Structure formats: structure tokens, C-alpha cells
């Protein structure tokens, strides 16, 4: 059964990943666009900044959403972005396990 969320993002023009139905994607005019969903957390990324903005506005028409912001934490992984790249850490997870 396809969820309401899946219908909405498919109407926007995204496709299901054949490997994982929580991943939606689109490639158009050499630009890539990716949406990953886990329970009620969403990551939207790609190399078309305007299309990301368009999707955020589109989703807000159909769903109550919190403010979309930068990615800091997802599935127990801390994400730090800088000019040098992206750093992933499970420091908080390890500290929670030890304490």
C-alpha cells in the first residue's frame, strides 16, 4: 500500500528507489535530487537548490511540517558540515551506551 506521503512526492515528480521504498529520487537535465524518509524524519538533498526549495514549499501545502533546516542528526549519527567536507560521528550514541 502506498502512503499519502508517497503519493504527494510522486505527484511532485520523484520516483521510488527500487532498492528502498523510503528513498525517492529524480534526475533531470544532469541534476540529481534525493529525498530519504525514516518514520517522520526527512533528508532532502541534491545539486539543484531551487528544486529543493520548491519541494519544501510543496510538502508544506499537504503536511504540517516543522521548519526545514540544516541536517545535524539523523538515525543516531551526528553530521557536521564544513568547507572541507562532511564529518559523521556516533559520539553521542557511544556516550549514551557507556553512561
> If DSSP states are collapsed to H, E and C, what string results for the chain?
CCCHHHHHHHHHCCEECCCCCCEEEEEECCEEEEEEEECCEEEEEECCHHHHHHHHHHHHHHCCCCCCCCCCEECCEEEEEECCEEEEECHHHHHHHHC
User: Average pLDDT of the chain?
Assistant: 86
**What pTM was computed for the model?**
0.72
Per-residue pLDDT reduced to its tens digit, 49-87: 888 889 999 999 998 877 777 777 777 888 888 888 888
Amino acid at each position: 500500500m502506498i502512503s499519502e506521503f508517497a503519493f504527494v512526492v510522486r505527484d511532485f515528480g520523484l520516483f521510488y528507489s527500487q532498492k528502498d521504498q523510503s528513498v525517492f529520487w529524480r534526475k533531470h537535465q544532469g541534476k540529481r535530487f534525493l529525498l530519504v524518509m525514516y518514520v517522520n524524519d526527512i533528508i532532502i538533498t541534491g545539486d539543484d537548490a531551487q528544486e529543493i526549495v520548491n519541494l519544501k514549499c510543496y510538502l508544506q501545502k499537504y503536511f504540517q511540517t516543522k521548519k526545514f533546516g540544516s541536517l545535524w542528526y539523523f538515525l543516531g549519527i551526528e553530521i557536521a558540515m564544513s568547507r572541507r567536507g562532511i564529518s559523521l560521528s556516533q559520539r553521542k550514541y557511544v556516550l549514551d551506551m557507556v553512561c
